[in-house]
Amino acid sequence: MKMFSASHKTAFVVDHCHYMAESCRQQVEFDMLTKNRAQGVIPLAPVSKSLWTCAVECSMEYCRILYDIYPTRKLVNYIVSDSDCHILNSWNQVDQNTQELMARLAVVGPPNPSEDPECCSILHGLVAAVGSLCKLTEYQHEARTTLMDQAERVNNRGRIICLTNAKSDTHVRMLEDYVQETILEQNKIAAASDRLMQIQQCELVLIHTYPFGEETLVSDRPRKEISSVLSSEVHSVRAGRHLASKLNVLVQQHFDLASTTITNIPMKPTLNVCDQEEQHANTSANYDVELLHHRDAHMEFIKSGDLHPTGSTPRDSGLKETVTLKWCTPRTNSVELHFCTGAYRISPVDVNSRPSSCLTNFLLNGRSVLLEQPRKSGSKVISHMLSSHGGEIFLHVLNCTRSTLEDPPSISEGCGGRVTDYRITDFGEFMRENRLTPFPEAQGADGAGKVPLERAKGQLERHTRYWPMIISQTTIFNMQAVVPLANLIVKESLSEEDVLTCQKTVYNLVDMERKNDPLPISTVGTRGKGPKRDEQYRIMWNELETLVRTHVGSSERHQRVLDCVLACRSKPPEEEERKKRGRKREDREDKAEKNGKDSEAERSWQESERLKAALEREKDDLPESEVIKDSPDSPEPLNKKPRLEMEELQLPEKAKGPVSLFTMWTNRINAANSRKHQEFAGRINSVNNKAELYQHLKDENGMDSHENGKATR
Amino acid sequence: MPTVVMMDVSLSMTRPVVVESSEEFQRKNLAIHGLTMLFEHMATNYRLEFTALLAFSSLWELMVPFTRDYNTLQEALNNLEDYDKTCLEAALQGVSNVVQQEWGSGCPCQVVLVTDGSLGIGRGSLRHSLQTIKQRGEDKKFPLPFLFPSKLYVMCIASAEELQYGDALENLEQLLNLNGGEGQIFTMEGPLCLKNVQSMFGKLIDQAYSPFHAVLRCGNLSSDVQVFPRPEPIQLDEEVDPTPRTILTELEIVGFIEIGDISSPPVLSRHLVLPIAVNKDVDELGTGAPDEMEEDSSSTQMAGKSPNFCVLLHGSLKVEGMVALVQLGPDWFGILYSQADSKKKSNLMMSLLEPGSEPLPWLGKISQLGPTSDAAENPYGEDDSKSPFPLQPKNKRSYAQNVTVWIKPSGLQTDVQKILRNARKLPEKTQTFYKELNRLRKAALAFGFWELLKGVADLLERECTLLPDTAHPDAAFQLSHAAQQLKLASTGDSQYAAFQHNITPMLTDFSGGAGDRDRL
């Protein structure tokens, strides 16, 4: 349904003239005989509703269903007409509920039979209704404001439902003509006003209602175009239940509703006291409850042509049909994400009947019910689900056809699927910390002027500035001791107390280092027993520095945490020297990356940080050279390669500046190899590290680097 | 989005194509060449697509039911025989049946019709079908528009000029209009030859089968992904917002929600989110040792071993039972979650929610969702026992607020009897008695049903006379007080008939304390 279709605005005009005080001549027994009643008491005479009472309660029922299914965006303006018009509410969303309308109807009261018949007319109400339709609703106003220069896209259509007691077909025609003229008149006024809109389309639904047993003076007439703006239809119905079922049919037509009957609802025989007086209470039976909802919930039936046979039965009215779905007793309250193609609000047809309230209360208590679609073939298909969300019940449409996404590749077969040490639990914790929660609108405006969602994005950004994805990539996140700092440093702002906690964490680490406590350094991918203890601490400190550094721009207190880390971490002097050099290189890299995206710069920075750590480790490893176990000539299987390629890098002795990785590698291999064999005589005697081989052959040369192994392969 | 390929195998498809080169082609050969190209593309770039092959002339036959096995499709394509004349309507009906049987009526499908543009003559021709389209009963309706959402691509193995010569192009355009304009007609540009048929199918591939690549981000963590099936643009309200919405190629996670809180939301469509290795990532891995790259068996194996954010996200979503809320565009969101196909296999799935600021009433406005840490008190509770969801609507629905409906007599009778039943248990049930009495009073006043107020007053007075000797003396006082109040209300006197006014229990020596009376 389009947002601004005729159903956006419904004006109810209810006749409040003296003739509406007439009885509808359908009597209601209210003094019913019940059990343990004294014998011989004569019941009180039944009561009878007036035409007015019938009109009001049926129109309120129309509104009840409407508001249940469309709590917003479908608006009602309720107008009562006698010697003047009484507009009971406005188009404003706050006015759209039955309680308000009931209160205002109570003020109006029943028609006054002694009022002067001459000044009473439904016309007052119709004029007011046309006037109301010209008024902007909040939604129209908002849409026009948003669209600005394309405001003409916002249409103004509406519907007038007039409940009256007309005198004849001629009288009806007179009413239609009057509405037509009024629209033309009001449209002229609206054209000249910014606050009003011309009516582009108006559907007039005239309902003539008359007492039971009388002959109707007005004939039914289907919808007819009176003019390009106005269409009109006439319904002539007896008051009481006939009027009620007519309005029930109309509300379904006007708002694209359909009916579903839930069948086989088991009700426990142990009902509370209420059932004692329930006249037709056969408690052991299974109940049926009829619900109304948007008809799209039946789309699959409508399209497949399954709507008519077995699954549906014609209702009382004979005009509308209902689809029958079978209750499936719910299993335990498992939390499951169903593939659901639609969810539509429902409204029970018989809202306060026992079966209806039993069903709705069951659902409101948080249980969900799956519904089964009876099929011609006898096969069973779960096609719908009833479930409540925050006091509203929805009919969910479940997908019951073959999925086009069946048999998808498993995530473990794709990129990153072979990695086994993801920090799944840590990321789960991260997700829980980044759960969303609703904030009231007013509150959203404050706090740096950002809407809550933007703040949520900001938090995600802060929390992921340094977030290694796998366990073997991190040390600090595997350490319980770092947790307090890691949790605090990501905060947007730190309190003095937070800084203190961070500092304590750092001191604690210093303490650990002094005591030489072991660190949970991953040995995955490293050969041998891994780095030495003091080297482990260097890695840890580097990583911690990296983490804190990413947040240093947040505030001065963040900076203080970094200062603390820098001050406490142990660094031999010559290392400091190298650090500086390393940073220079970093700067250069950073500059190169600046052209790319920020995150890439971030990553490269992390990369170089890792490189730095690796370089430092290499220095320690070098004299022992225990890392290299394989013979230089055996091919290196990739699987066993350490994750960090740079770990194997060697620092060139007395580096005078940036050295290519290739050179580092070559030098390192050379150094390692040289210790494993006796040097060739040729090389020992070489000039400039070059010796002529096979000098006797003369025709071959250039094999000098043969022994360098795979570096030149 | 499954595909049905409709291949015209009528005799006219065997017409030879005049080519200067030595080899002689039929139009059918060109068509097969084009489709082969399409199948090859799908097999490599779109391999999760289900495709069916249907051949038609005056009859139709489903050569290959929906499959992802493109070899089978190719084989069937190569073994097509030639038949009689073209009858498109029957074949379209066939497509409609085949698709609905397999996927139901809600699943969007692409229909690729390959024809030479001679659409039959006389009965059964497209011209005849379109001429008689308005004179049909319900049972013989023209199959277009299809009951399922669809795109119809017509691949003409003919040039536009050739088609314009007759009314073929006009008829095909009408066909497209019948389908709500969803689809496109492709014609050959230049002479009929392999090269031009390739370029025509190339256009189709660009249009309909180009994979959707995006970057999935969560703060600074990210992964390149392919979203399958490709999300198609959607239109909301053609009046207010006629431009279709498309999803961004930058998918940003904005936060996380428990599965129980999001609770089976209605979705527009579901898509697999498959992490992909983009070349630059491989390069980055290889920077240190370019030589070794050559030694590596394959780059995919490499990609499998470098950590990917999608895998991490999927794993945690699965373990925690949560979904990630992801922004697809302005005021448009989706959810990411782990979807298990079987016990072993699961994958990262994305569902698109209805565009708009408030796609799910129980979450409220998405823009108003913020980080938990901003709340004064953890809305999930310190031990995760609470949840801020679902949001409660401003007004309760009718079924949640004990409304009064007297349209059926039983409704009214039940309400009266509730009062009577409590009346007999006075004074114990004083509170409930007055609560029910006031509920009835309010409804009667709103409905202008004053007669009922009088009736119930009479009823209470009679109950008063019927009270047994053993009854508590307070009962009689309360009953006559209530009856009197109802009578006063039924006069419409503004003092007693005010809607907000409630009848309160009479304070008697038996009911209220002495202190109460003193105050009076």
Residue of chain A whose alpha carbon sits nearest to that of B361: A389
Helix (H) or strand (E) holding A565: helix A556-568
Neighbours of B213 (CB within 10 A): 13
Q: At what angle do helices B27-45 and B70-78 cross, to 10 degrees?
A: 170
Does the pLDDT at position A411 exceed 70? yes
CA–CA separation, B43 vs B53, rounded Å?
15
Q: Does B428 touch chain A (CB under 8 A)?
A: no
CA–CA separation, A303 vs B106, rounded Å?
9
Average pLDDT over residues A228-250: 93
Please report residues of A whose CB lies closer than 8 A to that of B67: none
Helix (H, G, I), strand (E, B) or coil at A370: strand
Please report residues of A whose CB lies closer than 8 A to that of B292: 636, 638
Q: Does B396 touch chain A (CB under 8 A)?
A: yes
Residue of chain B whose alpha carbon sits nearest to that of A28: B409
pLDDT for A200 equals: 94
Encode pLDDT of B146-185 as tens digits: 888 899 999 988 887 777 777 888 888 888 888 888 889 9
Domain B2-209: CATH architecture, name and number where available: 3-Layer(aba) Sandwich (3.40)
pLDDT for A178 equals: 94
Residues in chain A: 713
Does the pLDDT at position B293 exceed 50? no
Q: Which of residues 114-173 of B touch A (CB under 8 A)?
A: 147-148
Lowest mean pLDDT among A133-147, A364-378, A623-637: A623-637
pLDDT for A52 equals: 95
Terminal C-alpha separation, chain A: 70
DSSP states of B23-38: S-EEHHHHHHHHHHHH
Does the pLDDT at position A435 exceed 90? yes
pLDDT for A307 equals: 53
Does the pLDDT at position A272 exceed 60? no
Read off the pLDDT band of B142 (50, 70, 90): confident
Most confident residue range from A261-275, A405-419, A677-691, B45-59: B45-59
More confident residue, A529 or A486: A486
Does the pLDDT at position A102 exceed 80? yes
Encode pLDDT of A551-601 as tens digits: 988 888 999 999 998 888 766 545 555 555 555 555 555 444 444 444 444
Question: A218: closest CA among A227, A206, A226, A230?
Answer: A206
Residue of chain B whose alpha carbon sits nearest to that of A102: B446
Q: Are strands A369-374 and A321-328 parallel, antiparallel or unpaired?
A: antiparallel
Helix (H, G, I), strand (E, B) or coil at A633: coil
pLDDT for A2 equals: 80
Lowest mean pLDDT among A39-53, A144-158, A528-542: A528-542
Q: Does B308 touch chain A (CB under 8 A)?
A: yes
Lowest mean pLDDT among A32-36, A52-56, A90-94, A615-619: A615-619
pLDDT for B15 equals: 83
Average pLDDT over residues B336-346: 83
pLDDT for A333 equals: 60
| Interface confidence (ipTM) of the complex | 0.88
Residue A235 makes CB contacts below 8 A (sequence gap 6+) with A205, A206, A207, A208, A220, A246, A250
Lowest mean pLDDT among B31-40, B401-410, B430-439, B464-473: B464-473
Question: B309: closest CA among A425, A436, A417, A410?
Answer: A417
Q: Assign residue A535 a region (left: φ > 0; alpha: ψ between -120 and 50; beta: otherwise).
A: alpha
Average pLDDT over residues A529-549: 83
Q: Does B107 touch chain A (CB under 8 A)?
A: yes
Average pLDDT over residues B331-357: 89
Does the pLDDT at position A278 exceed 60? no
Lowest mean pLDDT among A360-364, A634-638, B412-416: A634-638
Please report residues of A whose CB lies closer than 8 A to that of B411: 352-353
pLDDT for A300 equals: 79
Please report residues of B whose CB lies closer than 8 A to that of A336: 259, 264
Average pLDDT over residues B32-55: 90
Flag if A441 and B319 touch (Cβ within 8 Å).
no
Average pLDDT over residues A524-547: 77
More confident residue, B322 or A146: B322
Please report residues of A whose CB lies closer than 8 A to that of B316: 424-425, 427-428, 430-431
Read off the pLDDT band of B501 (50, 70, 90): confident
Average pLDDT over residues B133-144: 78
- Which letter, b or e, does each residue of A322-339 get, where b requires 16 or more Cβ atoms within 10 Å of its Cβ? bbbbbbeeeeeeeeebbb
User: What's the whole-model pTM score?
Assistant: 0.82
Please report residues of A whose CB lies closer than 8 A to that of B239: 2-4, 153-155
Question: B263: closest CA among A85, A343, A152, A133?
Answer: A343
CA–CA separation, A9 vs A155, rounded Å?
11
Does the pLDDT at position B283 exceed 60? no
Average pLDDT over residues B129-140: 78
Question: Mean pLDDT in chain A?
Answer: 79
Encode pLDDT of A374-393 as tens digits: 776 767 788 899 999 988 99
Most confident residue range from A704-713, B64-73, B277-286: B64-73
Does the pLDDT at position A251 exceed 90? yes
Most confident residue range from A54-63, A464-473, A479-488: A54-63
pLDDT for B22 equals: 62
Average pLDDT over residues B225-251: 85
Q: Does B104 touch chain A (CB under 8 A)?
A: yes
Read off the pLDDT band of B375 (50, 70, 90): confident
| Residues above pLDDT 70, as percent of chain A | 73
Lowest mean pLDDT among A79-83, A93-97, A537-541: A537-541
The answer to whether the beta carbons of residues A101 and A78 sit under 8 Å apart is yes
Q: Match domain B211-234+247-280+307-394 to its CATH number in 3.40.50.300, 2.60.40.10, 3.40.190.10, 2.40.290.10.
A: 2.40.290.10
Most confident residue range from A692-696, B296-300, B408-412: B408-412
pLDDT for A644 equals: 41
Average pLDDT over residues A446-462: 83
Residue of chain A whose alpha carbon sits nearest to that of B139: A305
Flag if B399 and A428 touch (Cβ within 8 Å).
no
Read off the pLDDT band of A712 (50, 70, 90): very low
Lowest mean pLDDT among A191-200, A463-472, A635-644: A635-644
The answer to whether the beta carbons of residues A431 and B317 sit under 8 Å apart is yes
Neighbours of B494 (CB within 10 A): 10
Please report residues of A whose CB lies closer than 8 A to that of B437: none
CA–CA separation, B197 vs B158, rounded Å?
9
Residue of chain A whose alpha carbon sits nearest to that of B454: A47
Read off the pLDDT band of A607 (50, 70, 90): low
Average pLDDT over residues B33-51: 90
